[in-house]
């Protein structure tokens, strides 16, 4: 092995030059050079080996361990475990190996190493782990042998292999039994009751011991089950062993019904029933497991396996329900694409293939239907046969069988032309299948339609790939270009956008000479695919995709600078740079769109929106983190001024083109609303009102109206959020001009828009007011700030006086507005106290109204916050305690309670800090329903460990911040210096270990921790040094591991427990807690707004997600969607501000509600199918593939575009 590695390093093949000289190879060279040197005392041998293993460098890890074994001076503690480490490495290497001989060789070597370790270290602390590993290893080998028996036909040969497998299982059983007894004794050695609050570490130790014990128990039952598999089907031995196994699994499940081991045991119990032909009982259990709502990785695997087993049952002769199998398998595979190549994923696909073959068998079936079933079955079997495993052989056999059954019609093309022609002939059917899918009336039809489309796309893609592989030097270059182009389209439709980018960029650059039209058309696929890749990427990891869009656009500009695509490319580049937070660059590209381009107006508006978004982002950043560096005020003013100029210019041209008697379109409305926002910022309320209301029935406010009772779409100018924003801006302007009656009318409109969410709108309004006041305070414009406060006070007074006493909504608005005024009056304690008092009183009044209903707890939270700000801590705690007494799982109430206690500690009662951190105790010393920061951190950590993408991640960061912050605040009031220092030191350690463990922490949160870290150092009298940030590159892999490190460094002892069930339960209850409130949207909004800090406070008047209302390529709405193909699945607009649901301009009809009876002349476009249309292959069947440019080429014109961008079809089409 060693020699091999060296050979590969230094004498490797010529074709592989250079690739070995990677970091890894260089490291190994170092290792090699140092190979015979004595080990340095500080060489982290075991950590290094673990790191290599973690990255899959098993060969290097084994080489390194072998070298260390020959060295002198190795620490004896390390030397003792080298065989163990080698065994572990070889076991993992073997398990990962796809070559059977290599696998067997490595597993055998692993066994030898582990045996060697055990014989020399029988009492070592790792002995039990080594035993378990050994048992699992034997088990793995036995399973491989059992698989093998499936292929053996003669009974005698089979019996020999079965015997061999049985012997391995029996040996494994011996080892598992010993581990079981040892772990059971260890587990039973712990006390039955452990107080979590007093002895959290002991509790964790017991949980670990329990898990080990259950795992060993489960392995024993698995031994019984697998032993059963070593007997032939139908034999008495098999039956008896299965009965015994099911009893053993049942005992485990009965003992632990919700633990992961218990659930796995339940699954296996059902499997035993199934194998005993008790299908009904097995199905009952599978169904129960499939109902679990958890999305945790373990549960997804368990549910996937349960689904696979269920389908086997349904496919069994007793049930023979192939229709249901096809339906369920199709749905599952569509919903779990990423799991499709797991063992259970392939199993499900295999069951589907079998069901499809069965479904083709009825004699009365029309021939085309039969052939369809057979073709589906063959495609799926081919897919299964690609992967090693138990299904490969039977799947290969099925493929051969079905090829024969399908006869000549499936005869494989033997040359480029025939492969291309066949694929070309299938292109049109893509649209038919797509149409059928869009017309599906229920889930089953949709699943079937999707399956048919997927299968068809797969076959077309296969044929096109085949055609490319069969091309000859003298093949028609035009046809080759079109093959690549069509394949790009198919890959895009299949959801493989990067493949599509590869093909399309190649076509557009390399095939220009051979087929300019196709090359030009490929630009559309390239751009759409790049956008689709961007949309598919994780929101926090899109740098590559953003650059990709930029690269594609630049290529298009370079290749086709004068084409309409160039205009679109410039627009997209503008969007890319806007996303990257580079408004100057964004604007540069927008403004490069020439005035002859149909998208010129859109470009001006987009440029204006880009400046405005940059300004609002800067304001939001300043509000979220005032200590962050901001651009100079003059520059910010210029951004805003330029935004206004460009928007006014764009709006002017658009209005002129549109005329007075036409409803403005999406883009124009969005621009007017942004302008209203700018004008409100400048205190030009009258102009703002003018922007929004002038034009009567063709005004902006009228343009966003929908018919009474018509649901608003999720996005666009008709969306609730956009309409609400528009009315809030109008209301704000009316308050500014003291137009009481008009404002009350606007409030009515706002309430109508809000529906059940009206409270959310008021809360938002309050927040915006708060931000406005803060911004004015920051800018030093106290005069304007006082004016705003006065005008609102005056307005509130009038509304209060004129309100109907039972008008819940008005009262709510008043409360929220006072609250906003209070929050926005930082630095003016007297004014703030007055506002908090009035807000508190109004909330109290609200609580007495019956309408409070489900919003009661949310109002209580607000009230508590008012009381806390008023330093009426006792009252605040009482209010929040009421919520927690009803439901301790209310996360926001827990946060509020801990914040009350922290503030209380800092303002008069220092001992409250202890309660804030650890949670208050009752008089008898028992924990209460208030958890405190430590327990909050621990519970949130469990959720985040289970699901790194959890929505609770930011709350976890927040809790960790508050925990350390509370320690610092406590130290600030502590009179005992030693105690204060201890708290500060603990806080430092907490922060340091936390950021080490959670490397993907976002920049804003990290900056907060960094500042706190440096402040604490200063408090300790040290020179502050910045917090060390570890690269997040390997974070995903490292976090779980690092959690252990973090936990170890955590003085509160909040180590993550190995109890997914607990965490699941907590999550479930937590969500439940929120949902109880969630009946009223108010609760949710308040809950959101209660969170600190708000990273993205918005400035009224801007689209919080600008492109959401700024279709951004509005010219496209006027017809710039490229011809022939409609990229529905890959939105033509990369929604760079975060609203991924925005559709391509020009497809606005899909999001537009039914038209109002009063009509208007806004373009609609209803009825257009949403799915992407396939390109038309060039030429007619039978003709040569390519056609001259301008002919009936590969693509056809889209329907004539409508709307302000022009109504003429583009040239070049028929």
Partner 1 sequence: MKIGKWLALLAITFALVNRSVSADDRVTRKSDRAPIRGELTAVTRSSVTIKLQNGQEEQISVANIASIRFDGEPPTLSQAQSNERSGALDVALEKYTQIELEYTGDDRRIKTELSFLIARTKVLAALASPADREAAAKAMGDFRENNGSNFRYYEATLLHAEILAQDAAGQAEAQQLLQEIQECDVTGFRLQAGVQLGLLLLAGGDSQEALIAFDKVISESGDDPSATSARYEGMLGRGMCLKSNGSTDEAIAVAEQIIDGASESESRTLARAWVMKGDCMRDKDMPKDALFAYLFVDVLYPTVPAAHAEALYHLSNLWGPAGYQNRADEARATLTAKYPNSPWASR
The residues binding partner 1 (CB under 8 A) are 7-8, 10-19, 21-23, 56, 59, 97-99, 102, 337-342, 345, 386-388, 414-415, 469-474, 496, 498-499, 501-503, 506, 510, 536-538, 543-545, 548, 1033, 1036
Distance CA(228)–CA(197), nearest Å, equals: 46
Closest CB to partner 1 among residues 115, 555:
555
Among 1099, 1101, 1098, 1097, residue whose Cα is nearest residue 692? 1101
Q: Which residues contact 1113 (CB under 8 A, 6 or more apart)?
A: 568, 571, 572, 575, 599, 602, 606, 1120, 1132, 1133, 1144, 1145
Closest CB to partner 1 among residues 15, 977:
15
Among 145, 146, 144, 137, residue whose Cα is nearest residue 171? 137
Task: Please give the full DSSP string across 268-288, using - where no structure is assigned.
Answer: HHHHHHHHTT-HHHHHHHHHH
Closest CB to partner 1 among residues 97, 870:
97
**CB 387 to partner 1: min, Å:** 5
Contact 770, 762 (CB under 8 A): no
Closest CB to partner 1 among residues 249, 420:
420
Contact 861, 878 (CB under 8 A): no
Burial 745-775 (b: 16+ CB within 10 A, else e): ebbebbbebbeebbbbbbbbbbbbbbbbbbb
Count of CB atoms situated within 10 Å of the CB of 412: 10
**CB 516 to partner 1: min, Å:** 17
**CB 21 to partner 1: min, Å:** 5
**CB 408 to partner 1: min, Å:** 20
**CB 1058 to partner 1: min, Å:** 24
**CB 1031 to partner 1: min, Å:** 8
**CB 919 to partner 1: min, Å:** 39
Torsion of CA 538, 540, 545, 550, to 10 degrees: 150
Count of CB atoms situated within 10 Å of the CB of 978: 8
Cis peptide preceding 1093, ω within 30 of 0: yes
**CB 875 to partner 1: min, Å:** 49
**CB 465 to partner 1: min, Å:** 8
Q: Which two tokens stand for residue 737?
A: 């001009």
Contact 1113, 598 (CB under 8 A): no
**CB 1014 to partner 1: min, Å:** 28
**CB 391 to partner 1: min, Å:** 12
Q: For the chain, how far is it from start to end, CA to CA, in angstroms?
A: 66
Burial of 797 (0-12, 13-18, 19+ CB in 10 A): exposed
Closest CB to partner 1 among residues 454, 816:
454
1173 three-state secondary structure: coil
**CB 552 to partner 1: min, Å:** 12
Closest CB to partner 1 among residues 302, 359:
302
Closest CB to partner 1 among residues 493, 712:
493
Burial of 989 (0-12, 13-18, 19+ CB in 10 A): middle
**CB 544 to partner 1: min, Å:** 4
Beta bridge partner(s), residue 921? 927
**CB 296 to partner 1: min, Å:** 16
Closest CB to partner 1 among residues 340, 887:
340
Report H helices in 580-718.
583-591, 600-624, 633-658, 666-681, 685-693, 700-703
Closest CB to partner 1 among residues 308, 712:
308
**CB 622 to partner 1: min, Å:** 32
243 three-state secondary structure: helix
Burial of 919 (0-12, 13-18, 19+ CB in 10 A): buried
**CB 9 to partner 1: min, Å:** 9
Distance CA(692)–CA(717), nearest Å, equals: 13
DSSP 8-state assignment for residue 805 = T
For 493, the enclosing helix (H) or strand (E) is: helix 477-493
**Vertex 267 angle, CA 266 and 268, to 5°:** 90
**CB 10 to partner 1: min, Å:** 7
**CB 67 to partner 1: min, Å:** 20
- The CA distances from residue 505 to 487, 715, 1123, in Å, are 12, 32, 18
Among 376, 373, 372, residue whose Cα is nearest residue 349? 376
Distance CA(656)–CA(664), nearest Å, equals: 11
Q: Which residues contact 604 (CB under 8 A, 6 or more apart)?
A: 590, 591, 646, 647, 649, 650, 653
Helix axes 367-385, 392-406, angle to 10 degrees: 150
Contact 1016, 968 (CB under 8 A): yes
Distance CA(326)–CA(451), nearest Å, equals: 9
Closest CB to partner 1 among residues 56, 755:
56
Closest CB to partner 1 among residues 184, 403:
403
Closest CB to partner 1 among residues 29, 591:
29
């Amino acid at each position: 092995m060693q020699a091999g590695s060296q050979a590969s390093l230094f004498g490797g093949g010529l074709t592989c030059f250079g690739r070995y000289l990677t970091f890894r190879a260089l490291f190994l060279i170092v290792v090699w050079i140092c190979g015979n040197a004595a080990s340095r005392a500080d060489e982290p041998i075991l950590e290094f080996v673990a790191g290599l293993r973690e990255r899959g460098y098993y060969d290097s890890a084994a080489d390194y361990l072998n070298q260390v074994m020959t060295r002198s001076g190795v620490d004896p503690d390390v030397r003792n475990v080298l065989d163990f480490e080698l065994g572990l490495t070889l076991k993992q290497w073997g398990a990962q190996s796809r070559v059977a001989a290599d696998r067997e060789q490595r597993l055998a070597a692993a066994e030898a190493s582990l045996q060697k370790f055990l014989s020399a270290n029988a009492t070592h602390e790792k002995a039990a782990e080594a035993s378990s590993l050994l048992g699992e290893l034997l088990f793995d080998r036995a399973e491989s042998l059992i698989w093998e028996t499936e292929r053996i036909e003669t009974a005698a040969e089979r019996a020999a292999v079965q015997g061999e497998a049985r012997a391995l299982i029996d040996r494994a059983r011996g080892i598992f039994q010993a581990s079981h007894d040892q772990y059971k004794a260890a587990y039973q050695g712990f006390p039955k009751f452990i107080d979590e609050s007093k002895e959290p570490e002991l509790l964790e130790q017991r949980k670990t011991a329990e898990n080990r014990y259950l795992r060993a128990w489960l392995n024993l039952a698995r031994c019984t089950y697998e032993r059963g598999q070593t007997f032939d089907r139908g034999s008495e031995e098999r039956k008896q062993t299965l009965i015994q196994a099911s009893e053993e699994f049942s005992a485990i499940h009965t003992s632990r019904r919700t633990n992961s081991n218990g659930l796995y045991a339940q699954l296996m119990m059902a499997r035993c029933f199934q194998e005993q032909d008790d299908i009904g009982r097995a199905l009952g259990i599978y169904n129960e497991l499939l109902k679990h709502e958890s999305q945790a990785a373990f549960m997804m695997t368990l549910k996937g396996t349960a689904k696979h087993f269920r389908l086997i049952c349904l496919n069994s002769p007793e049930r023979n329900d192939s229709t249901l199998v096809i339906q369920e398998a199709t749905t599952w595979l569509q919903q779990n694409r990423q799991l499709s190549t797991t063992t259970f994923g392939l199993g499900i696909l295999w069951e589907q293939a079998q069901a499809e073959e069965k479904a083709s068998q009825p004699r009365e079936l029309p021939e085309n239907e039969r052939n369809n079933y057979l073709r589906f079955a063959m495609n799926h079997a081919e897919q299964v046969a690609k992967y090693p495993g138990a299904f490969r052989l039977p799947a290969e056999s099925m493929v051969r069988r079905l090829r024969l059954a399908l006869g000549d019609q499936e005869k494989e093309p033997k040359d480029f032309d025939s492969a291309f022609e066949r694929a070309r002939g299938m292109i049109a059917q893509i649209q038919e299948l797509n149409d059928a899918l869009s017309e599906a009336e229920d889930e089953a039809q949709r699943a079937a339609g999707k399956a048919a489309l997927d299968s068809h796309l797969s076959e077309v893609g296969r044929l096109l790939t085949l055609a490319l592989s069969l091309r000859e030097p003298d093949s028609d270059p035009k046809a080759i270009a079109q093959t690549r182009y069509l394949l790009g389209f198919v890959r895009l439709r299949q959801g493989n956008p990067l493949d599509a980018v590869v093909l399309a960029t190649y076509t557009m650059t390399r095939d220009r000479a051979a087929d300019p039209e196709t090359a030009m058309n490929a630009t559309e696929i390239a751009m759409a695919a790049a956008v689709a890749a961007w949309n598919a990427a994780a929101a926090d990891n899109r740098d590559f995709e953003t650059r990709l869009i930029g690269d594609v656009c630049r290529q298009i500009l370079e290749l086709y600078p004068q084409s309409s695509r160039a205009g679109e490319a410039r627009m997209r580049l503008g969007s890319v740079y806007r996303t990257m937070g580079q408004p100057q660059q964004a604007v540069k590209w927008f403004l490069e769109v020439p005035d002859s381009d149909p998208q010129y107006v859109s470009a001006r508006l987009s440029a204006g929106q880009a400046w405005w978004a940059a300004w609002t982002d800067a304001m939001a950043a300043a509000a979220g983190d005032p200590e962050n560096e901001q651009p100079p005020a003059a520059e910010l003013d210029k951004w805003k001024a330029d935004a206004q100029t460009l928007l006014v210019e764009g709006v002017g041209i658009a209005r002129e083109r549109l005329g007075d008697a036409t409803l403005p379109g999406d883009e124009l409305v969005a621009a007017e609303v942004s302008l209203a926002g700018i004008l409100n910022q400048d205190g030009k309320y009258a102009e703002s009102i003018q922007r929004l209301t002038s034009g009567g029935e063709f005004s902006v406010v009228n343009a966003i109206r929908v018919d009474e009772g018509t649901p608003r779409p999720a996005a666009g100018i008709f969306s609730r959020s956009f309409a609400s924003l528009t009315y809030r801006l109008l209301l704000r302007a009316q308050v500014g001009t003291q137009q009481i009656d008009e404002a009350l009318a606007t409030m009515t409109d706002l309430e109508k828009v809000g529906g059940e969410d009206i409270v959310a709108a008021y809360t938002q309004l309050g927040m915006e007011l708060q931000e406005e006041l803060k911004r004015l305070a920051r800018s030093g414009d106290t005069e304007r700030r006082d004016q705003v406060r006065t005008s609102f006070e005056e307005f509130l007074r009038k509304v209060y006086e004129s309100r109907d006493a039972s008008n819940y909504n008005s009262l709510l608005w008043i409360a929220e507005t006072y609250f906003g005024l209070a929050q926005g009056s930082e630095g003016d304690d007297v004014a703030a106290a007055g506002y908090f008092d009035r807000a508190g009183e109004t909330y109290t009044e609200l609580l007495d109204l019956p309408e409070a209903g489900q919003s009661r707890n949310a109002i209580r939270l607000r009230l508590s916050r008012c009381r806390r700000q008023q330093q009426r801590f006792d009252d605040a705690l009482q209010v929040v305690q009421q919520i927690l007494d009803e439901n301790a799982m209310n996360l926001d109430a827990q946060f509020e309670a801990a914040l009350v206690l922290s503030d209380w500690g800092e303002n008069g009662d220092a001992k409250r800090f202890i309660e804030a951190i650890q949670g208050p105790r009752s008089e008898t010393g028992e924990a209460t329903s208030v958890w405190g920061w430590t327990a909050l951190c621990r519970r949130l950590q469990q959720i985040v460990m289970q699901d790194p993408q959890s929505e609770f991640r930011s709350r976890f960061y927040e809790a960790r911040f508050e925990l350390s912050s509370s320690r610092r605040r406590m130290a600030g009031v502590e009179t005992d210096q030693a105690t204060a220092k201890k708290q500060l030191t603990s806080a430092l350690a907490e922060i340091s270990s936390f950021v080490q463990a959670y490397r993907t922490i976002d920049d804003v949160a990290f900056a907060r921790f960094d500042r706190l870290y440096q402040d604490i150092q200063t408090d300790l009298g040290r020179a502050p040094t910045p917090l060390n940030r570890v690269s997040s590159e390997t974070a995903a892999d490292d976090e779980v591991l690092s959690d252990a490190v973090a936990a170890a460094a955590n003085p509160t002892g909040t180590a993550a427990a190995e109890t997914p069930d607990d965490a699941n339960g907590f999550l479930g209850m937590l969500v439940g807690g929120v949902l109880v409130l969630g009946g009223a949207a108010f609760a949710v909004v308040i809950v959101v707004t209660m969170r600190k800090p708000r990273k993205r406070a918005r400035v009224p008047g801007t689209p919080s997600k600008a492109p959401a209302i700024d279709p951004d390529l509005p010219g496209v709405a006027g017809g710039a969607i490229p011809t022939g193909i409609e990229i529905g699945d890959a939105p033509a607009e990369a929604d760079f501000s975060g609203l991924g649901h925005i559709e391509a301009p020009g497809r606005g009809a899909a999001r537009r509600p039914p038209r109002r009876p009063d009509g208007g002349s806004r373009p609609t476009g209803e009825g257009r199918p949403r799915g992407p249309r396939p390109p038309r292959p060039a030429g007619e069947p039978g003709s040569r593939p390519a056609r001259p440019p301008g002919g009936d080429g590969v693509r056809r014109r889209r329907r004539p575009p409508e709307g302000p961008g022009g109504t003429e079809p583009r040239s070049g089409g028929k």
